[in-house]
Amino acid sequence: MDRKYRKLVLLTPITLLYSLLIGGGFWIILKESFGNIPTLGFEDVTFSYYSKAMYTNGFFHSVLFAIYLAVVSSVLSMVIGTWTAYRLTRAKNQKLKRLINSIMGLGIVLPYLYMVFLTMLFFSQSGVISRLLHALNLIHLPSDFPNLLYGRLGIGIIIVYVLKGIPFVTLLTMNVMSQISIDFEQVAMTLGGNNKQIFKKIYLPLSRDTIVWSGMVLFAYDLGSFEVPYIFSNLKSKSFSVMLYSEYLKPSIASIPITMAMTVILFGIGIISVILFALLVRTVIRRFHR
Amino acid sequence: MKKIMAWSILLLPLLYLLLLSLNSYFKFPALIPKTFTWLYWSDVLLKNPLFYRGLISSVIIGFITACLSTLIGFMTGRAVVYHLNGFTKTIAIMIAIPLMIPGMIMFLGMHQILIHTPFINSILGVVIAHTVICIPYTSNIAIAYFAGIPREFEAVSKTLGGKGIVTFKKIIFPLILPGIMMSMSISFLISNTEYFSTFLIGGGKVISLSMLMFPYITNADYGHTAVMGLIFIGVHSLLFLVVQILIKHRQNKVFYGGD
């Protein structure tokens, strides 16, 4: 009886917070998306707002754009991050190891907003890299440097996500990799395994779950992040969080149910794509190390 | 060679920020400014009345969030390791729910709930929102630390007649203390780097450091942003350094005698 009581007490706060804020919030959004907002006089329950939301100009385009950004950036950060973690785990040079660790620490400490600024500073048309190229006499005008940040491909957004993603994946994966016993590696080496095989057959399978988990978290974050695509977007291609925010700010009361319907659709797409992404990554890694 | 590259990755942005904070206006081909000014520093540190307000409320929000989410995280961790049947995949996914929902949508939902409470547009509301996104991290840390403590320790303490509180104070707490520090510093950091939730749930009434940065960045005001960024990096690097030193100190004490 005492144990049961204790378990309940320990789990109450997390359950309350999650169910009330996430579950309750979603419930209200769901209700409003069906057009049921008693305080405003909308009483009926209908699906019509969903079809209106679907036909909103550029809705699916923005969803696809967000998914494209999230997939490209999280895959890139997973690949680079895992490789860095592997190299760091097996590195002999302790000083270099500590140095790279502190670089990763800096990457974790910097907010996304600030990474946006650094990206702007280095990769814009009159940024540091463009200036260096000018100093090397490779380009002559700022317009000779490609418009990476505000272009249609959203390369600026991807750069920011990848720069923030690599430290996250590296630190998490390195944590797991450094606990892998060195005996495995030595046995593999005695049996004639080379560097590539050690990575593929020992380190990758043993740290697979962590890599998938970190990639999934990054994917979900990149999908729903607001400030990065807000700053680096143009009129042609904007991510869904930017579109949703502008819908949310609309003064017209009549558009509230449509906005909420959009949110519900995006919620569904978001969850499904996060799960699909995780499953896909897991299968790919499995295939790779087989 | 590798070392030089690594150092340059670390130092180049920081050095450039320092240069920018001293003079942001240098035209295209110039790599380094020729004249220098203290204007940006004095502007942010002396003339901007919002700066100290933002700094203080950032620290307050971060600290309360850190305490709250660490407390809840360690309660959850304790329950998962000792009272449920271990750390299964279902539990892991349940705990990680806030990380899997796209942030934007989750915060819009939270906003809808908090709007009915007195917490909206206040520091406490922001703290609640931040706590929710910190809990997955703090719970995972807690689970890792609790799972690392052999159950026999508590059993031995009980056989020797130690009461619950004594066992906690003498055995459990010293062993999980590094975890508590780590989880507090991580949630402090997450809270301070969060922009959108602070902005949405604070309703513009709650000013934090990252909110002060936002207009400077969107206006491409390099000088002021550089100053703010250097301050931000300084504060957080200091925090992490202190925590690391504390953890090291503590570990030696626990494993090699001491109290």
DSSP B39-62: HHHHIIIII-HHHHHHHHHHHHHH
| Cα torsion A12, A13, A14, A18: sign | positive
pLDDT of residue B100: 86
CB contact under 8 A, B109 and A28: yes
The shortest CB-CB distance from A266 to any of B105, B214, B222 is to B105
**B142, B181 contact by CB (below 8 A):** no
What average pLDDT does the segment A169-180 reach?
Answer: 86
**What is the rounded CA–CA span in Å between residue A84 and residue B6?**
12
**What is the rounded CA–CA span in Å between residue B146 and residue B82?**
8
Domains of chain B: 43-255 (1.10.3720.10)
CB distance from B192 to chain A under 8 Å?
Answer: yes
Specify the length of chain B in residues: 259
Amino acid at site A77: S
Considering only CA atoms, give the Rg of chain A: 24
Residue of B nearest to A263 (CA): B105
Q: Could you report the predicted ipTM of this complex, rounded to two decimals?
A: 0.84
Residue ranges of chain A assigned to CATH 1.10.3720.10? 48-289
How far apart, in Å, are the Cα atoms of B108 and each of A14, A53, A82, A139, B103?
Answer: 20, 17, 33, 45, 9
Residues in chain A within 8 Å Cβ distance of B229: 110, 114, 117
**What is the rounded CA–CA span in Å between residue A28 and residue B12?**
48
pLDDT of residue A102: 80
Angle at B45 between CA B42 and CA B51, to 5 degrees: 140
A43 has pLDDT over 60: yes
Tell me the helix, strand and coil percentages in chain A, rounded to 5.
Answer: 80, 0, 20
Each residue of A231-251: b (16+ CB within 10 Å) or e?
bbbeeebbbbbbbbbebbeee
CB contact under 8 A, B75 and A11: yes
What is the DSSP code (8-state) at residue A253? G
The whole-model pTM stands at: 0.87
3-state DSSP call for residue B208? Answer: coil
Fold of A48-289: MetI-like fold (1.10.3720)
Residues in chain B within 8 Å Cβ distance of A102: 10
CB distance from B215 to chain A under 8 Å?
Answer: no
CB distance from B9 to chain A under 8 Å?
Answer: yes
Q: What is the full DSSP assignment across A78-92? A: HHHHHHHHHHHHH--
What is the DSSP code (8-state) at residue A255? G
Residues in chain A within 8 Å Cβ distance of B75: 9-11, 13-14
Residues in chain B within 8 Å Cβ distance of A29: 108-109, 112
pLDDT tens, residue order, chain B (259 aa): 777 877 887 788 888 888 888 876 677 777 777 778 888 888 888 888 888 888 899 999 999 999 999 999 999 998 888 888 767 788 888 888 898 888 888 998 899 899 888 888 899 999 999 999 999 999 999 988 888 888 888 888 888 887 878 888 888 888 888 889 889 988 998 998 888 889 889 888 888 888 888 888 888 788 888 888 888 888 888 888 888 788 777 655 544 443 3
